[in-house]
């Protein structure tokens, strides 16, 4: 993801992983600061990712997903789970 690489009309990243993490956070009622505290990163990491400005490191994405009771995985190209 590059700077300004894509946000939807609501200002949320179009990246499918970040988008799902955002909506899960929203549904659970967690603030960006709360997620960041639980992940162990700066709130700006969550904020810039959700705005489509910066993609966090993979370990941060895994921790973020775990906080939201989700998992990030890799599937082979023969399957489309979107």
Interatomic CA distance for residues 9 and 50, integer angstroms: 13
Interatomic CA distance for residues 9 and 70, integer angstroms: 25
Q: What's the pTM?
A: 0.79
Interatomic CA distance for residues 43 and 51, integer angstroms: 12
Q: How many CB atoms lie within 10 A of CB 49?
A: 24
At a CB cut-off of 8 Å and minimum separation 6, what does 65 contact?
21, 71, 72
What domains can you pick out in the chain, each with its CATH number?
1-82 (1.10.260.40)
Query: Which pLDDT value is given to residue 73?
Result: 86
User: pLDDT tens digits, residue range 12-54?
Assistant: 778 899 999 999 999 999 999 999 999 999 999 999 999 989 9
């Amino acid at each position: 993801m590059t700077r300004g690489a894509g946000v939807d009309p609501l200002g949320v990243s179009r990246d499918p992983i970040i988008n799902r993490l955002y909506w899960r956070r929203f549904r659970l009622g967690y603030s960006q600061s709360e997620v960041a505290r639980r992940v162990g990163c700066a709130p700006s990491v969550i904020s810039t990712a959700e705005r489509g400005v910066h993609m966090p490191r993979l370990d941060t994405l895994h921790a973020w997903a775990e906080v939201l009771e989700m998992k990030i995985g890799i599937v082979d190209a023969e399957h489309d789970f979107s």
